[in-house]
Amino acid sequence: MTASPPPVLPDDRLASGIARLALHYRGRFSAETIQRLVIDSYERLAEHARVRTHLVVPAEHLATERLDALAHIEGAPGCGLPRVLFVCSHNAGRSQMAAALLAHRAGGHVVVSSAGTDPAAEVEPVVAQALTEAGVDLADAFPKPLTDEVVQAADIVITMGCGDACPVLPGRRYLDWPVTDPEGAPIAVVRGIRDEIDAHITELLTSLPST
């Protein structure tokens, strides 16, 4: 019986990332599953990208996040830390700020993700500036699409202005933070949004175990 030909990669440079992930997840996920998720992650990012030249690294990062979430769903031995997912429309402002602030303040005691129902091409520069002023690095962040694995793995889903497009799954704790969208806002306004989100983070941290 002739073996099926391997899927054609949308970018040949993805092959090295697939090989790295196959080694990292050896014994947990098949090479076919890893390749499928990497290709799907690349194609989802490409839908919203202005240019595709630099999508290889983000695609590998997104696939890694999805594989970790899938391993959690399937009951892989893990750290047992609470998992928090922030969702907004574009994952370019509010959810990025919230995820970065929580990760910074939780000090490794929370698994943090963020995503958008309609992700933008890039994070708002003024958002990155406001976080840098607060000592939080957003240099490697990029808008990510919402994926089933990450939603299903979350213990808490915090929505931030995505309306009916936000996911609702049974068994999750849902919070909605009605925070102003920083898109197009001046830095003084974005600083205020950052501080408002940080106040929500303070309240959230008091309710989480192992923080």
CA distance linking residue 34 with residue 24, whole number of Å: 10
pLDDT at 181: 92
Q: What is the pTM of this model?
A: 0.90
Q: Which of 175-184's residues contact partners 24+ apart within 8 Å by CB, and which partners?
A: 175/204, 177/94, 177/98, 179/94, 181/88, 181/89, 181/93, 181/94, 182/93, 182/94, 182/97, 182/124, 182/126, 182/127, 182/130, 183/90, 183/92, 183/93, 183/124
162 Cβ partners below 8 Å, 6+ apart? 87, 88, 89, 116, 117
The tokens for 112 are 């943090």
- Per-residue pLDDT of the chain (211 residues), as tens digits, is 455 566 788 889 999 999 999 999 999 999 999 999 999 999 999 998 876 778 999 999 999 999 999 999 988 666 678 999 999 999 999 999 999 999 999 988 999 999 999 999 999 999 999 999 999 988 889 999 999 999 999 999 999 977 666 766 666 788 999 999 999 999 999 999 999 999 999 999 998 875 4
Q: Do the beta carbons of residue 93 and residue 181 sit within 8 Å?
A: yes
